[in-house]
Amino acid sequence: MTRALVLLAMLVLSACGSSTSLPAPRIVSVRPASDTVGRTDPILLEIDAAFPVRLDYAEGEAQLQGRTRVWIGDQEARVFALNAQSLFAVDLPANLGAAAYDVRVALDDGRETTSPQGFTLWNQDAGTPDAGPDGIPDGGVYVADGGPEPDAGQDPTRPMGEGDITGYEFEPISDQDIGQPFTITVRAVGPRAADFTDKVDLSISKNNGNVSPTSLDKFVGGICVQNIAIDAQGANVVLTVTDRFGVQASSNAFKVK
């Protein structure tokens, strides 16, 4: 066993111990936390969890073990990992009605946590008067915004418009190797960031070759985590995203060698 692997094993054992002593997971956020009945896009679940680790002595590396399962109410949802540990895209089970649902997360070793009423679906006409026999509005609470007519606030089903997204933020990018895929994380910023699901163009600074792909896949809950690759070298490489309204943002400068 190499000295580096010995140190890695000591760090893993001291930090995690056995799986039975690991802390329970914690749901950090559910984005969006509510929507209208019939939503088809995934929701984004961020959790804080210590996963069991398997040491591969032959390869000199540690691998995270286990699978994350998610329930919305009493129905299990399909889960896609967006990164190694904390971000997950969760498909909503079909035929969920208007209600507030508990969100439950369980790990393979039995540890779990629940966010009571962590996700809510409501009918599209909630908050508006109905045509009941007494003529009295009973569709729930509606909110006036000072305009000529009452409304129900932001409508997550409305197509994105100019001003809904005001910018984007890249997580810091470290130095990379030419042609080797690596993961970037980009967050939308603005009044409707949690509803943002569009694609955006991806470009690279001049004289630094090409980036692949040239667009980022759909955002989930305002966050996109995607693998990309760069085919040329440079000391001050910068990535830029641009949406269809012309809103741009750039990453930090990093080196590709």
Per-domain residue ranges of the chain: 21-122, 167-256
Instruction: Give the amino acid at 212.
Output: S
Is the pLDDT at 182 greater than 80? The verdict is yes
User: What pLDDT does residue 170 have?
Assistant: 95
21-122 in CATH: which number?
Answer: 2.60.40.10
Element (H, E) at 7: helix 3-16
Statement: residue 222 has pLDDT above 60 = yes
- Percentage of the chain beyond pLDDT 90 is 40
pLDDT at 224 over 80: yes
Give the alpha-carbon dihedral of 242, 243, 247, 250, to 10 degrees: -30
How much is the pLDDT for 53? 66
Q: Which CATH class is domain 167-256?
A: mainly beta
Segment 26-35 mean pLDDT: 90
What pLDDT is recorded for position 155?
63
Q: What was the pLDDT predicted at 118?
A: 93
Whole-model pTM: value is 0.54
**Is the pLDDT higher at 106 or at 5?**
106
Distance (Å, rounded) from C-alpha 15 to C-alpha 3? 18
